[in-house]
């Protein structure tokens, strides 16, 4: 009898040794004459359990993890391939692991379940049902469906996706484009990568539907070059989609046409900003464009262009399959549907947590995350990437909702949550924010290009205890100038982490002042 | 797969690559990637060939190359080791790892070791943010890289084994 097991194959699982583990499992099975069929799934993104081996049984999939090479012999001794066996790494049914069970996985329902490049797996789990529905609809009802779902851009700005699509649909042009922003540069985020590595057909399907909705026949996925595995997976998945008449001319026997290509970025964070991304796709320096005109009207090569984040497009097949209402039933207020949060940094149970909007940051970090990895007290958390504010404990009870965060001067962004223990020096983090802006500013506007360099210098003076009060007030001024005067979010939001660090962790800035300007003993 | 990943500069090979890409819309970035993939960097000679093919000036091509961190105009060492210095890795000790990598290899960022084996580069996020600190070598990414694991990685690179999947 053949026993079927799954070994994850996403970047993190591989980085933790999943490929070598797969080879050893196969070799050991061969030696011990166990008939094992080893499949490679994506990942469930329960990262503290990776590599997480799953065994298929009639009752469901049983998990074992985190599996190290040294565990292989004992796993075979326990006949792990039977699933429900006693072993120190046995996790029971994977679907019953509370971290997973308590999530609302809509976008990530298939992640870690299917073989990412198996079209049959994808279709067996509701894949391409959305596209079939979409092919039977006219453009306007399609856009209406997205509007009714309440879907807002998941890249960070949270602009209503349906409105953006409407603008492109209404713009008359011979050629329109759908561009997927897969330049997931925010530290602490990996949800886009997971979509592309674990369920690439979902993104392809979402983009195809977007093309039908707005009348675009060409799509580009602009992917960051730091994601080599996602590049390979997308490349292969697109080829499979073409072979199966899911891309190209006459999609599924209809008269619809949509072409899709992956383009690699080249290590510029700013190219995650949509106009910079378009410049880059056109083969230029990624300089930010002034808006208006909006990309929806004058976008790629001057044509009307939908620019959506991976997660926005990935939500589309579900909406077209199950209906707008099914999606809008999740969430709160104006934040409808689910957001995949990513627990990262110093966290005990890191990974992907897809939840309807509404729970608090504290629930996310402690109930799911289990606090810090090293057990030290949690001091600060940065939500929403390098341009997001650092939140102290007094702000951990804010509900995870776009408006609630905005009210506190924070951003949910792409849902990245990076946790820091009490050993972090927040003035050093503030310095890094400015330093990052120096490295990544496109250079077009002065507040961002020069302001960030001056910011590093002023923070260095503060950190060396030089005229701390004066320099703190200078830094505040500089932050305001950058926020008000920058052309895009790079310079306009770089001050957010700096200002929040100054406001909530002032001691980290002023502690050195005593050593040079005061004569008092510390 | 034992063929070397990169070849030495050859204008004929470059011209073939250029011909393959030049009529794509927005050809320059894919073209630069293809050149760097083949030669490990973008030689000065390639800039002229690309400029001619795309009907742009050399300055325009140079402007694009210099804008993007990924593109390099000097030949790197046999291996490029990228250390993540973004926040999620910082929270797990990336600053310590960066300092260690520099002192252990005796180079700063963007520099190559004296034996021409390793070029050290910073990288801002590899998307492995729950299991940092993260390091990339070629197209492989490594998780939980403390100083000891960094030593092991570098040791493996010293044996000059080609990375075979």
B67-113 confidence digits (pLDDT tens): 999 999 999 999 999 999 999 999 999 999 999 999 999 999 999 99
> Taking 50 as the threshold, does the pLDDT of residue A520 lie above it?
no
What CA–CA distance (Å, rounded) separates A368 from A359?
A: 11
**According to the model, what pLDDT value does residue B83 have?**
98
Query: Chain B residues with CB inside 8 Å of A265's CB?
Result: 29, 68, 70
Cβ proximity of A275 and A299 under 8 Å: no
Tokens, residue A257: 């046409």
Q: In what order do the strands lie in the sheet with A390-391?
A: A351-356, A338-345, A416-421, A378-383, A390-391
Angle at A19 between CA A17 and CA A24, to 5 degrees: 95
**Residue B1 included in any domain:** no
- Indicate if B89 and B34 belong to the same structural domain: no
- Within 8 A of B36 by CB-CB distance, chain A residues are none
pLDDT-based confidence at A521, cuts 50/70/90?
Answer: very low
Contact yes or no for B87 and A418 at CB 8 A? yes
- The topology under which CATH files domain A331-421 is Ubiquitin-like (UB roll) (3.10.20)
Number of structural domains found in chain B: 2
Cβ distance of A190 and B134 shorter than 8 Å: no
What distances in angstroms separate CA A369 from CA A25, A98, A136, A312, A418, one per listed residue?
30, 12, 43, 25, 11
Which class is domain A426-516?
mainly alpha
Taking only the tens place, the pLDDT of each residue in A304-336 is 999 999 999 999 999 999 999 999 999 888 888
Band the pLDDT of A522: cuts 50, 70, 90. Answer: very low
Determine the structural domain holding residue B94 and report its residue range. Answer: 79-158
Q: Do B125 and A186 touch (CB under 8 A)?
A: yes
Interface probe with A: pick from B91, B132, B136, most Cβ of A within 10 Å = B91
Stretch 469-498 of chain A: residues touching chain B, C-beta under 8 Å: none
Task: Report pLDDT for B160.
Answer: 55
Within a domain: B73:
no
Subunit contact B144:A347, Cβ cutoff 8 A: no
- The pLDDT tens digits for A265-283 are 999 999 999 999 999 999 9
- Do B61 and B86 lie in one domain? The reply is no
CB spacing of B130 vs A12 below 8 angstroms: yes
Within this chain, do residues B50 and B89 fall inside the same structural domain, yes or no? Answer: no
H or E stretch at A493: helix A489-493
Q: Averaged over A422-433, what is the pLDDT?
A: 98
Shortest Cα–Cα distance, B86 to chain A (Å): 6
> Where in A135-203 does DSSP place strands (E)?
177-182
Residues of chain B by 3-state class (helix, strand, coil), percent to 5: 45, 10, 45
What is the helix (H) or strand (E) element at residue A146, kind and residue range? helix A139-149
CA distance A420 to A414: 18
Number of other CB atoms surrounding residue A492 within 10 Å: 18
CATH of the domain at B123: 3.40.30.10
Domain ranges across chain A? 3-101, 127-328, 331-421, 426-516
DSSP state of B163: P
Q: Is residue B33 part of a domain?
A: yes
Question: To the nearest whole angstrom, how far is the Cα of A144 from the nearest Cα of chain B?
Answer: 32
Same domain for B55 and B95: no
Please, what CATH class does the domain formed by A3-101 belong to? alpha beta
Residue that the structure tokens 């104006």 belong to: A334
Mean pLDDT of all residues in A387-411: 92
Of the candidates B64, B131, B165, the beta carbon closest to that of A47 is on B131
For the stretch A181-219, pLDDT in tens is 999 999 999 999 999 999 999 999 999 999 999 999 999
Determine the Cα–Cα distance for residues A96 and A386; give it in Å rounded to an integer.
34
**For residue A261, how far is the Cα from the chain centroid?**
21
State residue B4's pLDDT score.
57
Looking at the structure, do residues B43 and B114 belong to the same domain, yes or no?
Answer: no
3-state SS class at A55: strand
Task: Calculate the average pLDDT of chain A.
Answer: 96
Strand (E) or helix (H) holding A341? strand A338-345
- Residue B164 domain flag: no
Tokens of A357: 């909007």
Q: How many CB pairs under 8 A join A and B?
A: 155
Tokens at A141, concatenated? 């009802």
Contacts of B22 in chain A (CB under 8 A): none
Q: Are B91 and B151 within one domain?
A: yes
Q: Look up residue A425 and give its two tokens.
A: 């020096």
- Residue A341: beta bridge partners? A353
Q: Across the interface, do B142 and A15 touch by the CB < 8 Å criterion? A: yes
Helix axes B94-105, B147-158, angle to 10 degrees: 40
B89 is in an annotated binding site: yes
Assigned fold of A127-328: Rossmann fold (3.40.50)
What residues of chain B lie within 8 A of the CB of A382, using their CB? Answer: 87
A282: nearest CA partner in chain B: B26
Same domain, B105 and B138: yes
Q: Is there a cis peptide before residue A66, judged by omega within 30 degrees of 0?
A: yes
Strand ranges in A200-334 using DSSP code E only, listed in sequence order: 218-223, 248-249, 257-264, 305-309, 331-332
Cross-chain Cβ contact B129/A190 below 8 Å: yes
- φ, ψ (nearest 5 deg) of residue A138: -80, 165
pLDDT, tens only, B102-112: 999 999 999 99
Which residue on chain B is closest to A388 by alpha carbon?
B87
pLDDT at B2: 40
Q: Which pTM value belongs to this model? A: 0.96
Do both B18 and B51 map to the same domain?
yes
Q: How far apart are CA B6 and CA A180, in angstroms?
A: 31
- Window 203-222 of A, Cβ < 8 Å to B: none
User: Considering CB atoms only, which of A14, A345, A440 is closest to B88?
Assistant: A345
Nearest CB partner across the interface for B30, out of A263, A373, A429: A263
| Residue A29: per-residue pLDDT | 98
Residues B85 and B109 grouped into a single domain: yes
Kindly list the residues from chain A whose CB atom is less than 8 angstroms away from the CB atom of residue B127. 11-12, 184, 189-190, 193, 226-227
Q: How many helices (H) and strands (E) are present in chain B, helices listed first?
A: 7, 5
Cβ of A266 and B165 within 8 Å?
Answer: no
According to DSSP, the β-strands at B140-142 and B135-137 are antiparallel
Asked if A16 has any chain B CB less than 8 Å from its own CB, the reply is: yes
pLDDT at residue B158, rounded to an integer:
85
Residues of chain B with confidence (pLDDT) below 50: 1-3, 163-165
**Mutation test of the interface with chain B: which of A345, A415, A497, choosing the one with the most B Cβ atoms within 10 A?**
A345
Q: Is B125 annotated as a binding residue?
A: yes
C-alpha to C-alpha distances, A202 to A36, A57, A145, A216, A446, nearest whole angstrom:
29, 26, 18, 18, 41
Per the CB < 8 A criterion, the answer to whether A397 and A442 are in contact is: no
Check CB contact under 8 Å for B69 and A266.
yes
């Amino acid at each position: 009898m053949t026993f079927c097991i799954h070994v994850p194959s996403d970047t993190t699982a591989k980085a933790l040794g999943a490929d070598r583990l797969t080879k050893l499992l196969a070799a050991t099975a061969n030696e011990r004459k166990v008939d094992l069929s080893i499949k490679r799934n994506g990942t469930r993104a329960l990262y503290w359990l990776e590599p997480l081996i799953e065994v298929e049984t009639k009752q469901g999939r049983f998990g074992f993890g985190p599996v190290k090479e040294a565990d292989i012999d004992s796993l075979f001794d326990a006949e792990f391939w039977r699933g429900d066996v006693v072993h120190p790494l046995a996790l029971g049914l994977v679907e019953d692991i509370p971290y997973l069970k308590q999530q609302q996985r809509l976008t990530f329902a298939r992640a870690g379940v299917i073989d990412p490049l198996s079209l049959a797996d994808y279709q067996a789990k509701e894949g391409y049902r959305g596209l079939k529905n979409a092919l039977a609809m006219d453009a306007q009802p399609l856009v209406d469906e997205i509007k009714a779902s309440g879907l807002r851009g998941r890249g960070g700005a949270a602009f209503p996706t349906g409105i953006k699509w409407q603008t492109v649909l209404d713009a008359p042009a011979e050629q329109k484009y759908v561009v997927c922003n897969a330049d997931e540069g925010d530290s602490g985020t990996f949800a886009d990568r997971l979509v592309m590595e674990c369920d690439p057909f979902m993104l392809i399907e979402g983009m195809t539907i977007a093309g039908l909705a707005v009348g675009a026949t060409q799509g580009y996925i602009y992917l960051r070059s730091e994601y080599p595995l996602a590049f390979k997976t997308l490349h292969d998945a697109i080829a499979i989609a073409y072979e199966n008449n899911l891309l190209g001319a006459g999609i599924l026997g209809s008269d619809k046409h949509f072409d899709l290509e992956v383009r690699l970025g080249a290590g510029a964070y700013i190219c995650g900003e949509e106009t910079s991304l378009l410049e880059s796709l056109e083969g230029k320096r990624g300089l930010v464009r002034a808006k208006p005109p909006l990309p929806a009207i004058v976008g790629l090569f001057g044509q009307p262009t939908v620019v959506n984040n991976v997660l926005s497009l990935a939500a589309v097949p579900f909406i077209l399959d199950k209906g707008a209402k099914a999606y809008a039933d999740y969430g709160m207020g104006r934040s409808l549907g689910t957001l995949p949060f990513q627990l990262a940094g110093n966290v005990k149970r890191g990974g992907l947590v897809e939840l309807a909007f509404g729970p608090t940051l504290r629930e996310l970090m402690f109930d799911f995350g289990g606090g810090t990895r090293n057990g030290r007290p949690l001091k600060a958390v940065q939500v929403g990437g390098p341009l997001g504010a650092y939140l102290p404990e007094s702000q951990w009870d804010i509900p995870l909702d776009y408006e609630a965060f905005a009210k506190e001067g924070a951003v949910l962004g792409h849902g990245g949550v990076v946790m820091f223990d009490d050993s972090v020096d927040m003035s050093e983090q503030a310095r890094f924010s400015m330093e990052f802006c120096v490295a990544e500013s496109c250079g077009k506007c002065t507040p961002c290009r020069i302001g960030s360099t001056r910011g590093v210098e002023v923070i260095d003076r503060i950190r060396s205890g030089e005229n701390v009060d004066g320099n703190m007030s200078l830094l505040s001024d500089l932050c305001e100038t950058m926020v008000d005067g920058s052309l895009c979010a790079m310079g306009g939001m770089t001050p957010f982490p700096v200002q929040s660090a100054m406001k909530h962790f002032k001691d980290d800035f002023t502690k050195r002042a005593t050593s040079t300007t005061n004569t008092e003993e510390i | 797969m034992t063929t070397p990943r990169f070849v030495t500069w050859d204008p004929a090979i470059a011209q073939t690559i250029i011909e393959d890409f030049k009529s794509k819309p927005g050809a320059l970035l894919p073209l630069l990637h293809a050149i760097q993939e083949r030669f490990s960097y973008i030689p000065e000679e390639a800039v002229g060939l690309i400029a001619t093919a795309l009907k742009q000036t050399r300055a325009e091509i140079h402007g694009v190359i210099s804008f993007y961190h990924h593109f390099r105009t000097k030949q790197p060492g046999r291996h490029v080791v990228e250390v993540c210095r973004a926040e999620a890795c910082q929270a797990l000790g990336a600053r310590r790892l960066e300092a260690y990598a520099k002192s252990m290899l005796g180079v700063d960022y963007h520099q190559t070791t004296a034996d021409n084996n390793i070029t050290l580069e910073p990288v801002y996020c590899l998307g492995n943010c729950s299991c940092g600190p993260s390091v990339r070598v070629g197209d492989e990414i490594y998780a939980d890289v403390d100083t000891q694991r960094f030593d092991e990685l570098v040791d493996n690179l010293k044996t000059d084994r080609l990375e075979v999947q």
